[in-house]
Structure 1
Amino acid sequence: MGRFAPMNAAYRVWDGEQMCYCGDEGICLSIGELGSIEGKVFGWSVWLRGYGVIAHSGDLKSVLMNGTDQFQTHSRLKRIYAGDIVKQEETAPGGLFGPEPFIGEVKMIDGSWCIVNEKKEECRPLFSETATNKVIGDVYQNPELLEGAE
């Protein structure tokens, strides 16, 4: 029998066509055993009450993403997720990274949430006491935002 994700955990799933947020009306995440009785396979599935499974770890197109503990700055509470494209701007004069905005993908690296810009070969912490973060898209629906991120 599968286990349900805790209510305080934040997850979302890209199903190949749209983003589904666990906890939205009727959307549930199940993590546990999937597959045959003989060989136990562990994975996840997202299902919609009344319709059944809409995405799962074995469908080769869906991606499960964890929510970070950070929210977009100066906005209603909008959680930042792995795979989001974030624009980070320093607010303090002489800030740690300078005045230029930094754009990159949110990733978990060695246990810390980071903003990664592959083109610049640079990585910055998502959390900053002297910078603001704004979600400008995600890598599935807006990959072009990373192509121009310099």
Structure 2
Amino acid sequence: MNTAYRVWDGEKMHYWDDGELSLIISGGEWGLYRNIVGALYPIRIASSKQKKSALMWGTGLNDKKGKDIYQKDITEESYINPMSKENIIDRYVIERKNGFDRMEHVSGKEGFYRHLWLRSDEVEVIGDVYRNPELLEGAE
């Protein structure tokens, strides 16, 4: 089972292996806490009750350069169109739907997605929707 996660707190991304972090999930809600040496209680960094916070799970897959792929990552795939011989670059956002990690095209076109597990070795993570929203602009 893959337990890698990351949390966006509205300003900064926190990863499961940052050290001294605790993710607590209870009753459909979650909270990310930092354990401070000498402190009586851990400090809450983010929670599901905060509007700008988001919990994202790792997919357990790596991109073509070996980087871990998480939900809400923006990936890029380039290939040569066999008909026009043009170099095509497509961008996708990683989403989990019905238990499967999918690459949803940034254009938002209905039905224009690919299953991540079939393509992970052909895509490159170039950012995520929280820190790099500009990568979603101008999509066709």
* TM-score bin, normalised by smaller chain: 0.7 to 0.9
Query: Of 88, 98, 102, which residue of structure 2 is paired with 1:114?
Result: 102
Cα 1:120–1:13, aligned 2, differ >3 Å: closer, same or farther? closer
2:92 is equivalent to residue 104 of structure 1: yes
TM-score (norm 1): 0.74
TM-score (norm 2): 0.79
* Over 6 Å off, 4+ runs: none
Q: Is the CA contact 1:104–1:117 (under 8 Å) kept in the aligned structure 2?
A: yes
CA distance in 2 between counterparts of 1:44 and 1:133 reads 30
Greater share of helix residues, 1 or 2?
2
2:78 is equivalent to residue 79 of structure 1: no
Percent identity, aligned pairs only, is 36
CA distance in 1 between counterparts of 2:45 and 2:120 reads 40
Q: Is the CA contact 1:104–1:149 (under 8 Å) kept in the aligned structure 2?
A: no
Residues matched between the structures, number:
130
Structure 2: segments with no counterpart, 5+ residues: 37-41
Letter in 1 for 2:34: L
Q: Which moved more, 1:134-143 or 1:21-30?
A: 21-30
Cα 1:58–1:135, aligned 2, differ >3 Å: closer, same or farther? same
Structure 1: segments with no counterpart, 5+ residues: 1-5, 34-41
RMSD: 2.5
